[in-house]
Structure 1
Amino acid sequence: MKKVGFFGGKFLPLHMGHVYVITKAACMVEELYVILSYSKSRDSLLCQAGRIPDLPHSVRLQWLTTVTRDMENVKVLAVEDDAPSDETYDWEKGAYEIKKAIGKPIDVVFSSEHSYDPIFKRLYPDAEHVVIDSDRSHYPVSGTAIRKHGPYRYWDYIPNAVKSYFVKKVAIVGTESCGKSTLTRYLAQIYGTTYVEEYGRTICEEIGGCDGIINEEHFKEIVFGHKYMEYQKVKEANKVLFIDSEAVVSQYYAELYLGYPCSWIEGAILAQNYDLYLYLEPDVPWIDDGFRVHGDEKIRQCNNEKLKQMFQERNIPIVTIRGSYLERLEQAKRAVDQLLFG
């Protein structure tokens, strides 16, 4: 068995083809160094030119560390370069920095490309070049393809540690009894994914109601408990996560039940990042479930305009959903499909 080997790349993004090479290479050397080569400007431009969000090297470094955490002989290192593009990458300088980072004689250089033979022979004359899965038969995927077509086409080839970064988060909002919970569950069912329940409803059920008895401490539990549930559910999501209500809705209910806004909720609003807001108009029948108290039609419309204005004041774009339950489902599905694949 050889002593020291390394496998390098941009991992933009990390996919199962990379994981396969890393795993197999780790079985062939005593020490394997996984080198993340990054350039902030080049990598950002590559992401912008494709269909993926910007992927800072710190995120990719965390992915690599997570997928190799149980591989005792694998160490992940990041090496920065200043190349503005792949075509201008300085291979000699890059090899020098990689050798310096590893700090040991390199016995094996791993890759998936036979075309690297000449340059690796020149830059690492004392190392063997071992090519693993050059025809991509185990995982027919590449970072270039994911950037070009988006991650959702290659979802099965993306490691679990990476998927949550690409999950789109859809907030379903609206006033009392407008069908948020129903639509949230139905969409999750259609897309085969998870969802986050309205935590405010959970708290109201625990304390026996809302009107007249809910206080600011309860709202803290609602806002932060809801966010914690979101962080947990996104790890299980399949491409998209549906969230029933969010912090703007919580602020709306704080003003409704407490009589004043909570300044700390505004911080939660600024911190949240949803990819799509589906705003449900209250044009379905109001249902008295024992916790709702604003069924008068004039009050419903007044509350609806107030909540809608709260989103407008915070410059949060919304997609309005209205009509029958079937029409709502179809409108919502079109918006989500556009978000994922459009």
Structure 2
Amino acid sequence: MTSPVRRIALLGAESTGKSTLAAALADHYQTVWVPEYLREFVEVNKRTPQAHEQILIAQTQIAREDLAIEQANRYLFCDTTPLMTALYSEFYFGAADAALMELAREHRYECTIVAEPSNPWVADGLQRESDSVRQEVHRRLLRQLDSERIAYLLVAGDTEERVKQVAAYLLTQS
């Protein structure tokens, strides 16, 4: 039996407002959202992850989704997915390991939302590099989604505008 809760992927490069949007959408729909585990990993370890740790990060993200879905109401907003972890692995390490690539291919979401990198770039300690990296990761993400034929909604504007865009899109996806 499938869950009546729909997992919604929120993707985007660094500093595109994904976490802010996830929290706003969860508030709007009176549900929960899953924060990006990578942020916690960096804060706890005081460093960015190494290549061999990427699979653990993706697996932990999914495990947290699986826990959160029990508290979710209609939608579960997921701030990142294994696909993003694989994309960043390719960007920073030249490749993603086979297990991570398989996890990214197998773990799908009912809807995918991509945050456009049009808001001001903000440095955030160890996790964020530059606006030029953000723009390049965004281009790679769109190419990846297109190549895998994953439909997505590209959202822009402030948080309120993005919530309205997502709400209208979700109505069409029901």
How many residues of Structure 1 are paired with residues of Structure 2 in the alignment? 174
**Cα deviation 1:294-323 (Å, max 9, x = unaligned):** 323x43322211111111122211111112
- The 8 Å contact of residues 199 and 225 in structure 1, kept in 2 or not, is answered as yes
Q: Structure 2: where are the runs of 5+ without partners?
A: none
Q: 1:319 aligns with which of 149, 153, 157?
A: 153
Aligned to 1:260: 95
**Cα deviation 1:58-93 (Å, max 9, x = unaligned):** x4xxxxxxxxxxxxxxxxxxxxxxxxxxxxxxxxxx
TM-score w.r.t. length of structure 1: 0.48
Question: 2:24 is matched by which residue type in structure 1?
Answer: Y
- Residues 1:291 and 2:126 aligned together: yes
Instruction: Please give the alpha-carbon distance, in whole angstroms, between the structure 2 residues aligned to 1:311 and 1:202.
Output: 26
Question: 1:171 is matched by which residue type in structure 2?
Answer: A
- Residues 1:179 and 2:17 aligned together: yes
Moved more, 170-179 or 300-309: 300-309
- The 8 Å contact of residues 248 and 311 in structure 1, kept in 2 or not, is answered as no
Q: 1:206 aligns with which of 33, 40, 44?
A: 44
- The 8 Å contact of residues 10 and 115 in structure 2, kept in 1 or not, is answered as yes
SS of equivalent to 1:285: coil
Question: 2:34 is matched by which residue type in structure 1?
Answer: V
Aligned to 1:269: 104
TM-score w.r.t. length of structure 2: 0.92
- The 8 Å contact of residues 15 and 128 in structure 2, kept in 1 or not, is answered as no
| CA RMSD, 1 decimal | 1.6
Change (3 A) 1:236 1:215: same
- The 8 Å contact of residues 177 and 292 in structure 1, kept in 2 or not, is answered as no
Instruction: Please give the alpha-carbon distance, in whole angstroms, between the structure 2 residues aligned to 1:217 and 1:302.
Output: 23
Q: What is the aligned-residue identity percentage?
A: 26
- The 8 Å contact of residues 24 and 159 in structure 2, kept in 1 or not, is answered as no
SS of equivalent to 1:243: strand
Which one has more relative contact order, counting CA pairs under 8 Å at least 6 apart? 2
Question: 1:290 is matched by which residue type in structure 2?
Answer: G
Instruction: Please give the alpha-carbon distance, in whole angstroms, between the structure 2 residues aligned to 1:205 and 1:218.
Output: 15
SS of equivalent to 2:130: coil
Tell me how far 1:269 sits from its aligned partner.
1.8
Aligned to 1:221: 56
Structure possessing the higher radius of gyration over alpha carbons: 1
4+ residue segments displaced more than 6 Å: none
Instruction: Please give the alpha-carbon distance, in whole angstroms, between the structure 1 residues aligned to 2:136 and 2:85.
Output: 17
- The 8 Å contact of residues 173 and 245 in structure 1, kept in 2 or not, is answered as yes
- Residues 1:246 and 2:84 aligned together: no
Tell me how far 1:339 sits from its aligned partner.
2.9
Q: Structure 1: where are the runs of 5+ without partners?
A: 1-58, 60-163
SS of equivalent to 1:166: coil
Aligned to 2:141: 307
- The 8 Å contact of residues 4 and 74 in structure 2, kept in 1 or not, is answered as yes
